[in-house]
Amino acid sequence: MSSHAATAGPTDHHHDASTSTGIPNKKLFMWGFLASDCMFFGALIATHLIYRLHPPVGTPDPRDIFAIELTSGSTFVLLMSSLLMALAVNACQQGNVATTRKMLLGTIVFGLIFLGVQVYEFIHFVHAYGLTTSSSLFGSTFYTLTGTHGVHVALGILWLALMYIRSFKPRDDSAGQGWILRGFFHFLTFTAMVVLSLYTLLALVHGYEAGNGLAYFFSNHFLAFFGCIALLGGLIWFAKPRGPVDFGEANAIDVESMGLYWHFVDVVWIVIFPVVYLLEYVVLS
Amino acid sequence: MLFVALIPLLSGGWLSGPQSTFETEGPVAKTQLDVFYVTLWVTVIIFIVVGAVLAYTTLKFRTDKPLDELPEPPPQGHGNPLVELSLIAASILALVFIAVPTLRAIWYTYDVPEDQQDIAYEVTAIGYQWWFKFEYPMEMTPQPFGGEAPLITANELVIPAGRPVRVNLRSVDVIHSFWVPKLAGKVDMIPNRGNHLWLQADEPGYFWGQCAEFCGESHALMRFRVIALAEPEFEAWLENQKTLARTVTAPDDAMITTDYVDYGTFRANQPGWSEEFDADPLGNWKALQEPNAGEDAALIEAGRRYFVENRCAGCHVVRGHEGMGALGPDLTRIGARSTIAAGLLENTPENLYRWITEPEGVKPGNFMYHTRIVAPDGMVTMPGYVMRDPATGDVIESPGDIKITPEEGHALVAYLNSLK
Amino acid sequence: MDQSLTKNEFIGTEVEQTQEAKRSWLFTRPDHKTGLVNWLTTVDHKRIGILYGISALFFFLVGGVEALVIRLQLAVPNNDFISAQTYNEMFTMHATTMIFLAVMPLGAAFFNYIMPLQIGARDVAFPRLNGFAYWLFLVGAIILNLGFFVKSGLPDMGWFGYAPLTSTAFSSEFAGDMSTDMWIMGLQVLGVSSVIGSLNFIVTIINMRAPGLTMMRLPVFTWMTLFTSFLIILAFPAITIALVNVMMDRNFGTHFFEVSGGGLPILWQHLFWVFGHPEVYILILPAMGIISEILPTFARKPLFGYPIVVFSGALIGLLGFGVWAHHMFTTGMGTVATAAFTLATMAIAVPTGVKIFNWIGTLWKGQLIMTTPMMFALGFIWMFMMGGFSGIMHSAAPADAQQHDSYFVVAHFHYVLIGGSVFALLAGIHYWFPLMFARKIPEFWGKLSFWVIFGGFNITFFPLHFVGLNGMPRRVFTYDDNMGWSSINMIATIGAFILGIGIAIYFGVMIYSYYKGEKAKRDPWGGRTLEWSLPIPPPPHNFDVTPTVHARDAFWYEKHHKAEIAAENAKKAVDDEAHGGIHMPSNSWFPIISAAGMLFAALMFCNHSYLGAMAGAVIMFFGIWMWSVEGPGGYHLHPTKKGDDANASH
């Protein structure tokens, strides 16, 4: 039970005097949860490795399927998202709400890029190589393992988004809870923008590969391109400050707990990527 | 060891029976029993010592006074490191004492000892829901339409006595286990995995076995027998096995002379053993190898016809006759088996009649009774006695259902009993 | 009393109080102190403990009936009391119910009620999460038992669900057969519930101890709570993944255990037993903790060798992760693996044995008061010792080759589970009954129930050792009369009914005592630990003043240093009032609402209605979102204020 601390001095973010160990309860809880999640992923990775040791007849060769450059790129993106997350925690601990929000947003963007690339990858695997959960045991273990990781990333993004919206809660709540709705639309706009941007980017890339010029791109993807610009405007408008918010140094513990989770998800991927992707080229070849 | 042998007697016969792990008849089971005895004696000694201390403590230090009438509490001792450490050391010592013979036995029981591998005999046991297929990879058997294949039997494994036998263990559906307690501990039969065990019957004998891994509805009814024969008898048995099925022909105008016995109604899970058989199982098994006295040739011929008409031939092999299907147990020499329905019922005409006319009451869920093979488009490709609606699980009448009338049943029993 | 939130509280800083903002009803925390709404929205660890306890005892009876049905079928050879299918369902449900719905939640009941009291805390670290864990447990229990009421029926592939019996090919009687799916989802939900509860306990024990309560002064029961919780959070993920694999096989065409696709059923066994073995230590460690409280109390001296007992508990937990394949000695793992697991299993016998020596050392030269809890505790030592010995027999793999999957194993684990876990839990109920309900259970009836249970239990299970060594396999719905097993089975059935009568007496006595038992006075047993320092039953806020702990057996110290403690507490009371009194957590609807969402989602998933499952997930997420948004809530109590009678106020 937290006691009333009557001090008005600076917050010590590394020591909570109300607990026996000095570690805040939420942080300890998150560490415990991560220990459990380690075993969770351990079982999935073990399952995958065991079946790579005893592949049944007809198992496809992953080296024919994987696109290591693409996956390396998305791995790097996820790593960078952890950097942004750490910066978000740092900013919150210093009470810098604006920077916290930017860093949170950045983490979300990078996380979405990682997920987007994974979705693109999986769609490609299914259509080009017929690799599904049921097509082979390799498909079963691969998709279950990376899919579970992807779900963890997605839940993390959802959590980050909710924290981002939370950071807009006005200190003066006489206007009711409308800020939640505004935050929700803000988030929708943002998601739409990310999706549209990716679509536009993809169109640009495919157009470039097919040798089409910029004129072709504009005439066929005019709507998408200007949709992006419009939504960007909407985002900027939504994010305009509307008065002091009920968010600050005191929330740093929540951002930090989220950071621990996000780092864990990243570390798990740092293990999965070598074990699932790189191993095929080094050991199992 | 004499004292040790008294345990079965002391326990009033509780350790005596066809599947007793105490009445070992081979080196593997005996080694395993010896390891058990080591653990038993060590733990009994510890139990007596610790139990005595506990009993003494409880009696000596108990007080009958209620809490409020008690004087000062006793001295608040916190422990005694010397006592602790000595007890820990003693425990470790006791475990080391157990571990040494145990480790030796693990290696010994794993596979046929190296110096005996050249004389070891090899068989394969394959688990099905709810019966055992046995294959003799070293015994190439002429097939009816040319070529050779390993000998295949079911549910009663005949082995040479006095030699190690290596049993390869496989399964086609779920996990089963091969356990013949008097000869060896069990090893599981796991799909997609190649297990094995080895055993040896020191003397000729008749041994009971049972599936020892839960494998579905009729797991309790999946049993088998192991019959160990002296070398010459084993060779003779193999010779006979390799021939095609025994054919009994009747003259063209022969009439069926046997009167039908009305067996009445059977209840589910009715017992199928007899004291006469159990009195001398090996002798009775040997007697079954010979044709029965007073065979009715015409009845047998009729039974052979019904075997095809009722589509038994679609699931059961009778090598040399019409039986071709490999889904069910091989019946080429079923007349010579002492048990039917996978070691469940003694092979008597009444039990055999019951098994083929009312299989569900003998072995619930068995696939002879329920249609099992259904093509993707829903067409039934292999009929059983009943068909179940895949959507609801209810039994539905279908024209393909196997129906066996009493006349057909008796004829089939005669035919099957002639297959020696 | 207006419970609307006015003050936000954060660690370290005080936010300036704003004017009273009118919050919508959605964010208003319920404030009922009694009645049904209080029970449905409670965050009080004591009430949650009682909820767990009552549910567990109910399912204990359900599991017991299932056992009696099993014994009736096996009483005579070739019995047709029930069909093979029903029998297989009964032994599956009996084990699943007893393990997950009876013994584990009874342990959770004591963790919840007693542990915070033993560490001088007012509640657990996350009170609403605690409630959520209970409601999830109930959801899991409902899903598991739905088979009694729907056409799919009950699961029938054993509580260990060996693949490929759990695949659609072998487990579906008809197209919509959900029995296996409900078993899977029930266990998944129970897993989530257990992990959440355990994380809560870990944080509470590590972070919310009273001042002066160092780890080596913790009561042993609290230590065992900690170890059990670690075992739970680290072991359950293995079965979660194993069950996910089966779910994927059944729903999405994967081949994890599909033999035709190259799946290896032995992988299921490994994953299951990596969970399964720590699970049995999850079942026994709380029991050992309870015994370690009861014996010192009724011997009137401290636990012998406290550090060794604690260390043994930790070692058992740790080594428990290294012995799982002793359940797989017959799967053909090879000599090296078999030898390794044999040795590891023997090793784990050492810390287990050490505890028994220490318990006897506790009794030695004590003043043994033979109350009912003490009798159960002594019975525990005898029975657990015997179960441990048959365990040592199993550890020798060659001997186990004959014992595995026979009734010898059944005898072994019932000795450690009933003679061990259940005896200790029954002892605990008697022991802490006066604390929880302020009534005494009459000694005569308590002891009578003990003797009938003890006798019935031994008559049932001791002979089963013999029938197992005589070759009777497990999980068989019938047997023949010529096997030599008939007399023992009849004896065991009779014993089972005697045991049932004993349990009935025990329950009857408990229920009677709850309503009409003689009123108990404070500290009826001369306890040594902090929970006995409280008034009975303890008030919602537990301690008027958080105690300062000076030694192990904190209450024993308090009783023998009364003046020092009184002065300390008086000073603390002044400090607490200066800070505005004691802060108490408010109730909340969202734990039960979120759990209801989970129930809906799980059932829809069983039915392969994935859209419905997503709808249920949305409900659950909505519940959790509201939970986070409704704010920390809370109200204040002033139990030490002069003239006030522990009234709540702002």
Judge if A127 and A84 occupy the same domain.
Answer: yes
- Contact indicator for C45, C123 with CB cutoff of 8 Å: yes
| Residue corresponding to tokens 């007349």 | B335
| B86 in reach of chain C (CB within 8 A) | no
Judge if A158 and A223 occupy the same domain.
Answer: no
Instruction: Give dist(CA A122, CA A130) in Å, integer.
Output: 10
Peptide bond into A179 cis (omega under 30): no
Whether residue B90 has pLDDT greater than 70 = yes
The minimal CB distance from B76 to the residues C302, C404, C474 is found for C302
| Residue corresponding to tokens 């040594």 | C528
Record: contact C237-A133, CB cut-off 8 A: no
Angle, alpha carbons B392-B394-B395 (nearest 5°): 145
Output the pLDDT for position C3. 35
| Residue corresponding to tokens 């016969």 | B13
Over residues A64-92, the pLDDT tens digits come to 999 999 999 999 999 999 999 999 999 99
A107 inside domain: yes
At B168, phi and psi to the nearest 5? -80, 140
Structure token pair of residue B224: 């088998």
H/E segment holding residue B224: strand B223-229
Judge if A92 and A138 occupy the same domain.
Answer: yes
H/E segment holding residue B99: helix B81-110
Judge if A31 and A108 occupy the same domain.
Answer: yes
Q: Average pLDDT over chain C, rounded to whole?
A: 92
Instruction: Give dist(CA C148, CA B374) in Å, integer.
Output: 30
B8 falls in which pLDDT band (50, 70, 90)?
low
Q: Average pLDDT over chain A, rounded to whole?
A: 87
Please list the residues that pair with B127 across neighbouring strands: B132, B171
Instruction: Give dist(CA C526, CA C522) in Å, integer.
Output: 9
Exposed / middle / buried, residue A11 (Cβ in 10 Å: 0-12, 13-18, 19+): buried
What is the gyration radius of the CA atoms in chain A, in angstroms?
A: 22
Record: contact A137-C11, CB cut-off 8 A: no
Structure token pair of residue B275: 């004291």
A8 inside domain: no
Instruction: Give dist(CA C205, CA C119) in Å, integer.
Output: 7
B397 falls in which pLDDT band (50, 70, 90)?
confident
Judge if A96 and A190 occupy the same domain.
Answer: no
Q: Which of residues 176-215 of C touch A (CB under 8 A)?
A: 195, 199-200, 202-203, 206-209, 213
Judge if A151 and A38 occupy the same domain.
Answer: yes
Output the pLDDT for position B107. 97
- Contact indicator for C240, A40 with CB cutoff of 8 Å: yes
Over residues A89-126, the pLDDT tens digits come to 999 999 999 999 999 999 998 999 999 899 989 999 99
| Residue corresponding to tokens 């988004």 | A161
- Please report, for residues B127, B156, C558, the alpha-carbon distance to residue B203 in angstroms, rounded to integers and kept in the order given: 26, 17, 74
Whether residue C22 has pLDDT greater than 50 = no
Which residues of C carry out catalysis? 94, 123, 159, 193-194, 277, 279, 281, 292, 326-327, 352, 355, 474
Say if strands B387-388 and B395-396 run parallel, antiparallel, or are unpaired. Answer: antiparallel
- Residue intervals in chain C for CATH 1.20.210.10: 31-520
Judge if A161 and A268 occupy the same domain.
Answer: yes
The DSSP 8-state label assigned to residue A25 in this structure reads H
- Contact indicator for C52, A52 with CB cutoff of 8 Å: no
A145 inside domain: yes
A137 inside domain: yes
- Contact indicator for A47, A53 with CB cutoff of 8 Å: no
Please list the residues that pair with B189 across neighbouring strands: B176
Over residues B226-252, the pLDDT tens digits come to 999 999 999 999 999 999 999 999 888
Instruction: Tell which residue, C423, C387, C381, has the closest CA to residue C408.
Output: C387
| C25 in reach of chain A (CB within 8 A) | no
Whether residue A243 has pLDDT greater than 90 = no
B3 falls in which pLDDT band (50, 70, 90)?
very low
Residues 6+ apart with CB under 8 A from B199: B26, B28, B29, B164, B165, B167, B180, B183, B184
- Contact indicator for C384, C356 with CB cutoff of 8 Å: yes
Domain tally, chain A: 2
Record: contact C266-B193, CB cut-off 8 A: yes
Whether residue C306 has pLDDT greater than 90 = yes
| 3-state DSSP assignment of residue A27 | helix
The whole domain housing A189 covers: 176-244
For residue C160, which amino acid is it?
Answer: F
A173 falls in which pLDDT band (50, 70, 90)?
low
Over residues C541-576, the pLDDT tens digits come to 999 999 999 999 999 999 999 999 999 999 998 888
Range C31-520 has CATH code 1.20.210.10: yes
Over residues C25-56, the pLDDT tens digits come to 667 788 778 889 999 999 999 999 999 999 99
Instruction: Give dist(CA C591, CA C51) in Å, integer.
Output: 14
Instruction: Tell which residue, B93, B83, B74, has the closest CA to residue C358.
Output: B83
A14 inside domain: no
Judge if A224 and A252 occupy the same domain.
Answer: no
Judge if A39 and A133 occupy the same domain.
Answer: yes
For this complex, say whether ipTM is above 0.90. Answer: yes
Which residues does chain C have within 8 Å of residue A131's beta carbon, measured at their own beta carbons?
none
Burial per residue of B231-269, b for 16 or more beta-carbon CB atoms within 10 angstroms, e otherwise? eebbeebbeebeeebbebebeeeeebeeeeeeeeebeeb
Record: contact C253-A133, CB cut-off 8 A: yes
Residue C620 C-alpha, separation from nearest chain B C-alpha, in angstroms? 32
Nearest residue in chain A measured CA to CA from C194: A36
- Helix H, strand E, coil C: the string for C409-433 is HHHHHHHHHHHHHHHHHHHHHHHHH
Size of interface A-C (CB pairs under 8 A): 165
Q: Which of residues 218-277 of B touch C (CB under 8 A)?
A: 218-221, 267-273, 275
- Contact indicator for C591, C135 with CB cutoff of 8 Å: yes
Burial per residue of C510-538, b for 16 or more beta-carbon CB atoms within 10 angstroms, e otherwise? beebeeebeebeebbbbbbbbbbbbebeb
Instruction: Give dist(CA A63, CA A281) in Å, integer.
Output: 7
Record: contact C21-A29, CB cut-off 8 A: no
Judge if A156 and A184 occupy the same domain.
Answer: no
Output the pLDDT for position B386. 87
Which residues does chain C have within 8 Å of residue B92's beta carbon, measured at their own beta carbons?
350
Instruction: Give dist(CA B180, CA B199) in Å, integer.
Output: 9
Instruction: Tell which residue, A278, A226, A262, A269, has the closest CA to residue A106.
Output: A262
Output the pLDDT for position A183. 80
Say if strands C635-637 and B176-180 run parallel, antiparallel, or are unpaired. Answer: unpaired
Judge if A157 and A260 occupy the same domain.
Answer: yes
C333: left (phi over 0), alpha (psi -120 to 50) or beta: alpha
Whether residue B12 has pLDDT greater than 80 = no
A285 inside domain: no
In DSSP notation, C207-255 reads H-PPTT--GGGS-HHHHHHHHHHHHHHHHHHHHHHHHHHHHHHHHH---
- Alpha helix segments (H runs only) across A56-213: 62-65, 68-93, 97-129, 137-166, 178-209
Enter the pTM of the model.
0.93
Record: contact B191-C382, CB cut-off 8 A: no
Domain containing residue A64: CATH number:
1.20.120.80
- Percentage of chain C surpassing pLDDT 90? 86
